[in-house]
Amino acid sequence: MTDDSTLHDSKASSHQARMAARKVVMDKKIAKATEERGVLILLKGNGKGKSSSAFGTMARSAGHGQRCGVIQFSKGRMETGEYKFFRDHPLIDWKVMGHGFTWETQSKERDIEAAQQAWAAAEKLLRDDRYQILVFDEMSYMFKYGYLDVEPVIEALKNRPKMQNVIITGRTMALPLQDIADTISVVQDERHAFRLGVKAQPGIEF
Ligand code: ATP
Ligand code: MG
């Protein structure tokens, strides 16, 4: 017969045994992961949470005193909360594509010009080892719309400083980027408040 306390004891000891076994497995994995280098992270998919995750990681990085660079490859219809919050941070350089352009004259040529200007800024950051993390927000659309060629981007990413981390966001990712990425996370769209009729709000959407 087992009373409550012996049942509790046996549950506790089997939990302890499971945890100990898991620790052995984890310790082995940790011992194997010895390489020290920057990583390329892709955040893709149709769900909400890609850009906010990228900027969350950047906050983490800045918290450790690391220098950060952001290039936003979207026109940005308004100044986002993250931009307003981070732009004056001494460790963060933030460029929005198309700032300084007149967007009233919507044309493909202007878009391409803005994209190339943004890429020129990104390329500069990819050669600068003072930046420990770079966020290229919504960059994937540049390839989708043919505003940028993917090959020079792949080359620049491959040749970047060894310890530099790069995060690229966008719903669909160019396959060559996926080929060289270290971490790829897919944010799945299961439900979104917008489809329930909830109005976009500052602090959540932008
Ligand atoms: P966030 O910036 O909130 O992390 P995201 O970067 O994953 O979102 P984007 O594709 O860049 O998503 O879209 C940006 C805007 O569209 C945000 O305001 C976001 O709330 C909204 N959004 C993202 N996914 C969806 C969706 N599945 N349905 C409706 N709106 C969405
Ligand atoms: Mg986004």
- C-alpha 41/C-alpha 128 separation (Å) is 18
Q: What is the number of the ligand 1 atom nearest to the C-alpha of 49?
A: 4
pLDDT digits (tens, 9 = 90+) for 90-145: 999 999 987 655 554 567 888 889 999 999 999 999 999 999 999 999 999 999 99
**CATH code for the domain in which residue 75 is found:** 3.40.50.300
Domain ranges, residue 5: 1-34
Please report whether residue 157 resides in a domain. yes
In angstroms, what is the span from residue 167 Cα to ligand 2's centroid? 12
Question: Which region, left, alpha or beta, applies to residue 45 given φ > 0 means left and ψ of -120 to 50 means alpha?
Answer: left
In angstroms, what is the span from residue 177 Cα to ligand 1's centroid? 21
Please report whether residue 9 resides in a domain. yes
- Same domain for 14 and 67, yes or no, is no
Q: What is the number of the ligand 1 atom nearest to the C-alpha of 171?
A: 10
- Same domain for 25 and 50, yes or no, is no
- Same domain for 10 and 89, yes or no, is no
Q: What is the number of the ligand 1 atom nearest to the C-alpha of 54?
A: 4
**Structural domain total, the chain:** 2
Share the mean pLDDT of the chain.
Answer: 91
Q: Decide if pLDDT at 63 tops 80.
A: yes
Please report whether residue 182 resides in a domain. yes
Predicted TM-score (pTM) of this structure: 0.88
- Same domain for 135 and 182, yes or no, is yes
- Same domain for 21 and 58, yes or no, is no
Pairing of β 183-186 and β 165-169: unpaired
Which residue among 41, 44, 48, 79 has the greatest number of ligand 1 atoms within 8 angstroms of its CB, and so is best to mutate? 48
Q: Which residues does ligand 1 sit against, CB inside 6 Å?
A: 46-52, 138, 169, 171, 187, 189, 192, 194, 200, 205-206
- Same domain for 65 and 3, yes or no, is no
Pairing of β 92-96 and β 165-169: unpaired
